[in-house]
Structure 1
Amino acid sequence: MQQLNGHEGVPGGPLWVCYCDFDGVTHFDSVYVSSSRGIHMTAHGHELFEWAPILERLLQPFPEVEIVLSTSWVRARSLEFAKAQLSPALQARVVGATFDNRVTQKLDFDLMPRGLQVWRDVERRKPTRWFAIDNDDRGWPAWCRDRLIKTEDHLGLSDIGVQKAIRKVLASF
């Protein structure tokens, strides 16, 4: 059986997870892929991962919190590719992704709302504590909707209210 707990140094230790989307969270939501330009942003004055340093600062006092990527970047490219887009400090926290082609077929995964994708990973990974940061709140199961910190497409992590909500959740860990 696959070990999903990222705490290899602490067998059976608590697993604290931040499920993190990219588009609308770490940068403005208007991200597109084309064969000529690759992954690019259409929002003038914005850049990819411009708000990721905010997440790094928020998580810095909590080294035990790990990240599970809940972004379509993993499904479209790969976990390794998506992880490589982050700073080294955030990369070190990434223990996996909600999409795992050994568990779920791409089409089945694509048909699931984001909240169900996250919940299925929670059931599989069994974190002790967890929360999610995402701009997509459609399809979140009622029993875990309170774990979602909803961002606005155009503000993501730059929103002071979102930062406050993350600090509050982290303080409860």
Structure 2
Amino acid sequence: MDAHPGMAQRTANQEPDARPRVRGCVVLYLDFDGVLHPEDVWRRPGYGPYVATPPGHVVFEHAALLARCLDPYPELRIVLSTSWVRVFRSVRKVARRLPPELRRRVVGATFHGRMDPVWFQSVPRGVQVWGDVCRRRPSAWIALDDDDAGWPAVCRAHLVHTDPVLGISAPAVLAELQTRLAALRGPENGWP
């Protein structure tokens, strides 16, 4: 289902004063659950986030794999599209959970403090990402997410749909990610 045309406009213009500090670069929109680890993640007070099922998995188990995939693209920046930013109320706190190779690439999140959290949570992830694309105006972008429901048609070609358990480690997903990253390279996107 495509978003109502006015929905993307509202997302883009909801916070007219909320222009991102970093604009115009090549961006990877990064979800965590179902991308860097299985999607069934819970938070226990005093313990923190953990993978509930399937057993034998840990949070951020594929973060090093993503860092290796991004290594040939030092110009690429990360915008966090994960619900963790709303839960922990800070891009910095969430970014600190990533390995340094990924953390230094983080330039923001699709959610920011001037947004209405209830409204933001009520729209599909693709609409959240599209709102940031409209504000940030990246020269090129892709999104890693296990949730493909409700993505606007204009965004579908940018989505790398991950496996909810294997995340980016699923062979077909990893191959697609590498192909998409290579396709972003070029002077038209600000990359040499």
TM-score, scaled relative to structure 2: 0.82
How far, CA to CA, are the matches of 1:171 and 1:38 in structure 2? 36
Q: Secondary structure at the match of 1:71?
A: coil
Q: Aligned to 1:133, which of 144, 153, 156?
A: 144
| 8 Å CA contact retained: 1:5, 1:15 | no
How far, CA to CA, are the matches of 1:21 and 1:80 in structure 2? 15
Task: Find the counterpart in structure 2 of residue 80 from structure 1.
Answer: 92
Deviations 1:88-135 (A, max 9, x none): 110000000000122x21111111110000000000000000000000
Task: Find the counterpart in structure 1 of residue 62 from structure 2.
Answer: 51
Pairing 1:152-171 to 2, within 5 Å after superposition: 152-171=163-182
Offset at residue 171 of structure 1 (A): 1.1
How far, CA to CA, are the matches of 2:21 and 2:31 in structure 1? 20
Task: Find the counterpart in structure 1 of residue 71 from structure 2.
Answer: 60
Aligned residue type for 2:30: C
How far, CA to CA, are the matches of 2:84 and 2:134 in structure 1? 22
Taking structure 1 as reference, are residues 143 and 3 closer, same or farther at Cα in structure 2, changes over 3 Å only?
Answer: closer
Aligned residue type for 1:136: D
Q: Aligned to 2:158, which of 137, 147, 155?
A: 147
How far, CA to CA, are the matches of 2:84 and 2:18 in structure 1? 23
| 8 Å CA contact retained: 1:21, 1:69 | yes
4+ aligned runs moved over 3 Å, structure 1 = none
TM-score, scaled relative to structure 1: 0.91
After superposition, the CA RMSD in angstroms is 1.5
How far, CA to CA, are the matches of 1:35 and 1:170 in structure 2? 37
Aligned residue type for 2:174: Q
Report how many residues are paired: 166
Q: Secondary structure at the match of 2:157?
A: helix
Offset at residue 35 of structure 1 (A): 2.7
Offset at residue 163 of structure 1 (A): 1.2
Offset at residue 169 of structure 1 (A): 1.2
Offset at residue 40 of structure 1 (A): 1.6
How far, CA to CA, are the matches of 2:104 and 2:58 in structure 1? 22
Gaps of 5+ in 2: 1-16, 185-192
Task: Find the counterpart in structure 2 of residue 39 from structure 1.
Answer: 49
Aligned residue type for 1:141: P
How far, CA to CA, are the matches of 1:112 and 1:45 in structure 2? 32
How far, CA to CA, are the matches of 2:18 and 2:166 in structure 1? 37
Deviations 1:39-88 (A, max 9, x none): 22212110010001111000000001100000000011021111011001
Taking structure 1 as reference, are residues 117 and 68 closer, same or farther at Cα in structure 2, changes over 3 Å only?
Answer: same
How far, CA to CA, are the matches of 1:34 and 1:108 in structure 2? 26
Identity %: 44
Aligned residue type for 1:108: W
Offset at residue 34 of structure 1 (A): 2.8
